[in-house]
Structures are given as C-alpha cells and as structure tokens.
Structure 1
Amino acid sequence: MTDLDLARLTPWLARNVPGFTGPVTQVTKFDVGQSNPTFRLDTATQAYVLRRKPPGVLLKSAHAVDREYRVQKALSMRMECVCTVHALCMDDSVIGSAFYVMDFVAGRSFLDPSLPGLEIGERSAIYAEMNRVLAAIHAVDIVAAGLEDFGPPGNYYERQLARWTKQYRATETGPIAEMDALIDWLGQAMPPDDGQRTLVHGDFRIDNLLFSKEGSRCLAVLDWELSTLGHPYADLAGVIMQWQLPPGEDGRGLAGVDRAALGIPSDADFVASYFARRGLTPPESFGFYVAFAFFRMAAILQGVKKRALDGNASNPEKALKLGTYVPRFAELGLEARDSYG
C-alpha cells in the first residue's frame, strides 16, 4: 500500500495510541507534505494521520516532527482548531524515521485561495476566520502552554536570517544573484527588535487550514514543522507573500485576481484587521517583513529541490518543479523592499 512497514508499525500503534484497534485496513499517502511525508491510516473504527521524517541524510534542524508534536500537544487544550495528537516515536527502527500520530480531521481544504465555487459572503467569512485564527495563535500564553523554551530569546529576524541563509547555502545547487542580493539587503535593513515574542506557526496559509464542511469555522491548523517562538509579523507577512504569487495549483496566489469582486480582502484590509484584533499599531513599513517572507520561502524551496536531486523527496517530480521557482521568489523579495509602506 505504501512504504510504511505495517508489520512493525501496527504493534507500536497498539501499544502507544490510546483506543487504537487494528488492523490498519488502508494507508493513503497525501499529495501534500513535501517536507514531512504524511499518511492517512484507516482502521475499522477510526482514521489517523501519521507524519514522518523523510528517509535519507537530512539537515540537522529540518523535519522536526518532535516539535510539531510538542506544539500541537500544548495547544490542544487551549485552541479548538488544533488536531489531537496521540503519540510520538523517535525510534527509527519502527518505520525507518521518527514520526507522530494524530487524529484525522474531516474538513474542507482550499488549495486555491480564490475559493472557487463559494459565494461572496462565504469567501469573506472564510478569510475573516483565517484572520481570527492567526491573531489567536499569536495571543497564546506561551508560559501557560509550557512553550517558553520553544524558541531562543533575542531578535527573531536576526536569528531567522542566519538560520535560513545557512540552510540555503547548505542546499545551494548553483549561484542565484537575486538571492545573494536579497540576503545582503535583509542584513542591512534589519529593523530593531521591538520586544514582541509570540508563538509563530511558520507556514500559515489557507491551504494549511481545515474548515468545517458547512460554514467558515476552522477545525484544524496543519503543518507546524516551522513553528517556533518569534515575531508575529512573520506569519502575517507570509500570508501577504503567498497572495502575490500567480493563481493556480503551483502558485496558489491571488496575483491579478479581482479580490473585491470575489469578497476577498485586500492586503491592506487583511493587515488592518489583524492589527485591530490584536490592538496593535502597524509598523511604518511592512516591506522588510514581506521581503523576508519571500527569502525564507525561496530557501525552503531550494531545500526541496536539493532533496529531490539527492533522491529523498516525497514527490520528486513536484519537488524539482518547485525548485525552479527559487530565483523568482528572490526577485519578488527584492520588489517587496519598497512596497507595503
């Protein structure tokens, strides 16, 4: 059915997942999850999701399924839109790499942010809920949640620039002048630390949210691999970054889309709603934050490309295609420097 060793996995599930009753009758690999391969496990009574590290040689700080597990475990009692996680396995001998198991949530997933097929009011409600959930994540009491050590203190953007520059250099497959220029500019334009330190999802976008079958309620926020403690503007800028990309399956953006006609908020309206929800005054310029979001995504895609070339990608063909976008992301990052003032 898949490359999962059910003969070893099933006994582990029986020992570690409360209420598990085997056997696993079907395993389905999700197309999403380029970084950490994701599977649906069906039994006669329940469905689960298994997220694992990919096989092969990996960057030291990447594919942190243990962090995904920890943050969702901490939030499950504090937020409604977090999956219930059951067990974490750091023993590679079970299926070949670390993994964790959580409940399968039957919700609507929107890969296209233009939300085709929905009415104007439905789209507006979905985006209002997306905005609310993002603000709620940033409002989590990290001390009460036991996450005060989930990320190092200090200037988040300085740390992130250093981390992703290192990751990018480690997976570089050829010179990209735009990336070099963007890295240099981000270092020079680094804003002073304003003291904000919240939980950060790290990849907050509409296709990482599951919504109720009817209505606009968010049932689950997925893919917490990049979560940490840091600056909340990183998540907000990531949303705005995504919308600058072309529409369609690959870009999953809103570039050129008549948002007003569809009931989708403008960049400025979404940002203003977020700051109003959190009772904050927006910064004078949001350009640095959006430029950084493009840089980080370019570095991530470079890693995806390198894994494909090394034979470790979850979907090699798609991974190689995504890798071709690295120069364009860097270009858009440079364009964002003077935008969003």
Structure 2
Amino acid sequence: MSATEQQLFSGTRPVAAAHAFDVGRLDAYLRGHLPGYSGELQVAQFNGGQSNPTFRLAAGERQYVLRRKPPGVLLPSAHAVDREYRVIRGLAGTDVPVARAHLLCEDPDVIGSMFYVMDYVEGRIFWDPRLPGIAPAERGALYDEMNRVMAALHRVDPQAVGLGGHGKPGRYLERQIDRWTKQYRAAETEPIAAADALIDWLPRHLPAGDETPRIVHGDYRIDNVIFHPTEPRILAVLDWELSTLGDPLVDFAYHCLAWHMAAGEGARGMAGEDLGALGIPTEGAYLQRYLERTGRVATAGGAPAVSAAEWGYYLVFNLFRLVGILQGVLARALQGNASSARALEAGRRARPLAEQAWAMAQRLDGGRVA
C-alpha cells in the first residue's frame, strides 16, 4: 500500500449519502442518554472499514465514535454492533486495551439502525503491514506489541468478565465452516469453483480436538488496532463485530494471513518481502512467541501445541472465511450500501483468495504445508 492509499483509508470525509441520518435526532438522543454530552454536534464518517459504517462525533470539548449497522438488506448474523459493544464493555479493566464504551441504542428509529457510542482514541492506525516509513527496530516492537495484546486476549477467562455467553461451547471450527459457507452462499455474486471446492473439502478434513473456548477477536489485523502516537504501544483494539468464543489458535492463524498474502491489487500483506531487512519477524518466530505467551509450549524449546498440518488447515479455513467476508463486501458494494468507497475493489479479491486457499489445501500433505 502506497502513502497515497494510507491517506485514502485514514481520516474522515463527509457522511456518505447511503449512510446519512438525522443528526438532530441523534443529538437529542445523546443529550438524554450520554452523561457529560454537550455542545454543538458535528458528524464526519471515517474512510476506513468495509463493514459497519463508523463516524466521528465532535460535541463541545469531547470526541466520540459511533458504530452502526448499515442500512438495507443484511446477511443473517452480520454487522452485530450489539456484540461489539458488549465485548468492549466486558474487556474494560483487563490487559486488553479497548476504548471506553458509553451506550448501545437498539432502537432503529433514532438513526435508522442499531448503533453504539464509545470514546474516540487518538493515535496511529497503520494500513500496510510492511509499515513503510517506520524504522526496522520500531517495526519489530510494533509487531511484538500486537503479539502481546492478542496473547493477553486469549488468556482472558470469558466467565470472569461476564462473557461466558458470548458464543457457543464446542465444535467451533465445524460451526464456523457452516456459518461462513452460509454467508458466502447468501452473498454469492458469481460462481467461484475454488470456493465450491473448499466448501466440500473443509468439513471433510477437520482436525481432531477443540481448544478451551476463549474470546476470539475474529478480525485482528494491524489496521484494527490504534497505536500510541509515538510509542509502540496499543491504546485500543477495534472492530469486534466478529468476536465470539472459540479456538484461539484459529483466531491467531487469521491474524497471520498477512504473511501469506502479497501486497498490491487491494491486498494488504507481506508475502515475498525481505522481513529481516524490514525488522518484521518471520511467521514461525511470531507464532512461537505467541505460543510462549499463552503457555502452549510444554518446556523451553519444547514442541508447540499445534502441528504443521493443523496450522496449515487453520490458514486454509481462514482464507476461506476471508473469502466469505469479501463476498459480503462485494454484495453490499453492488447494492450501493457498502461502508467504504473502495469496497468494490476489495470485494473482487474474493476469487483470487479462494484460488489461493484451494491451492494451499491441495498442498497439505503428511503434516506439512508445501
């Protein structure tokens, strides 16, 4: 991603016509429900994001962020801003940095769909995992911080923070495959042979066993965290729409897709890059550090609790899951109600990613990923 693309995804713009709402009605609601709210309300829409439209609210000396469900016909179980709100509230006070969540409005009459309001967090959001313009030493520190925060999330006891009901126990992968198959079919815009092959292959090659359910983010990427303005420290993890209870290793594998996707043509990855020169850890080293932080290495230098075959399967599944997400983005773009102006370009990545995932599935052999 170029510096120009970084600028396109960063910052705000006037509210898109497809996502416009009655600002006066929102203002009246906030005055009655948000303690400390005062001043003239000004609304701008964030450029980034493909799913839930997100807005910056400025009123008096305070700034907030509003996340809403998009208008129009939506896929089943998608755009769950109420789940986002509840998990952010639950994680407040843990080692997982989140913005302070203030209120959830489930009444669609206020702005046309459900929404929640949280604090605006000032900091840096990076859209390119290669971190152009950052010194190699700081790149390594930024990645180590992402690793630390994800490990902290996966160490949280869901019951202890009131999130024991945030998902169903057991059969996580099986249920996820079923869910994303349904999501993909519901948003399908054209036949993709590789996606059809994966839909057949994935349930027939499920790895044995299920991790103890933990809170999984579902979309943990470098552009879904806010770093401190000058320090390699995460101030808030964003975009909890896909969070649930599930297998943390599957969640971490999704995070590691950046090592398997090349940059360019709308993709944000770093496959084929000279990671050593960039100061970015290899996927293997990054995975090992996570396993150590979450106690999944039996002894120092011992065998990790994930085989190469399992890890390969988790990567294939997550590529397919991303295909399902992008198919939904494309469907919304074609309907004209997508959150991002570049949604059409993003959605068209579904086919090449499906083909990449199917090629990887075919190469899984004898516990090794070719």
Over residues 245-269 of structure 1, what are the superposed CA-to-partner deviations in whole Å (9 max), with x where a residue is unaligned?
A: 2225821110221111111011111
The question of whether the paired residues in 2 share the 8 Å contact of 1:204 and 1:239 is answered with yes
- 1:6 pairs with one of 23, 37, 42: 23
Q: Which residue of 2 is the match for residue 97 of structure 1? A: 113
- 1:197 pairs with one of 198, 213, 232: 213
Over residues 44-70 of structure 1, what are the superposed CA-to-partner deviations in whole Å (9 max), with x where a residue is unaligned?
A: 211100000000111220100000000
Matched, 1:44 2:69: no
Q: Distance in 1 between matches of 2:210 and 2:65?
A: 38
Q: Which residue of 1 is the match for residue 187 of structure 2? A: 171
Residue 214 of structure 1: CA displacement? 1.2
Matched, 1:324 2:348: yes
- 1:282 pairs with one of 305, 310, 315: 305
Residue 195 of structure 1: CA displacement? 3.6
Residue 221 of structure 1: CA displacement? 0.3
- 2:322 pairs with one of 297, 300, 310: 297
- 1:117 pairs with one of 91, 110, 133: 133
Structure 1 unaligned residues grouped into runs of 5+: none
Q: 1:231 to 1:73 in 2, by over 3 A?
A: same
Q: Distance in 2 between matches of 1:19 and 1:204?
A: 32
Greater mean deviation of Cα atoms: 91-100 or 28-37? 28-37
Q: Which residue of 2 is the match for residue 307 of structure 1? A: 332
The question of whether the paired residues in 1 share the 8 Å contact of 2:266 and 2:349 is answered with no
Residue 213 of structure 1: CA displacement? 1.0
Over residues 161-198 of structure 1, what are the superposed CA-to-partner deviations in whole Å (9 max), with x where a residue is unaligned?
A: 00000111111112110001112111111012234210
Q: Could you say what secondary structure the match of 1:29 adopts?
A: strand
Query: What is the letter of the counterpart of residue 284 of structure 1?
Result: S
TM-score (norm 1): 0.96
Greater mean deviation of Cα atoms: 59-68 or 280-289? 280-289
Q: Distance in 1 between matches of 2:85 and 2:128?
A: 27
Q: Could you say what secondary structure the match of 1:42 adopts?
A: strand
Residue 205 of structure 1: CA displacement? 0.7
Over residues 205-251 of structure 1, what are the superposed CA-to-partner deviations in whole Å (9 max), with x where a residue is unaligned?
A: 11101111112110000000000000101221112212322225821
Matched, 1:146 2:169: no
Q: Could you say what secondary structure the match of 1:199 adopts?
A: strand
Over residues 53-98 of structure 1, what are the superposed CA-to-partner deviations in whole Å (9 max), with x where a residue is unaligned?
A: 0001112201000000000011112235111000000111100000
Matched, 1:133 2:153: no
Query: What is the letter of the counterpart of residue 274 of structure 2?
Result: D
Query: What is the letter of the counterpart of residue 328 of structure 2?
Result: G
Structure 2 unaligned residues grouped into runs of 5+: 1-13, 297-303
Kindly tell me the number of residue pairs found equivalent between the two proteins.
339
Percent identity, aligned pairs only, is 52
TM-score (norm 2): 0.89
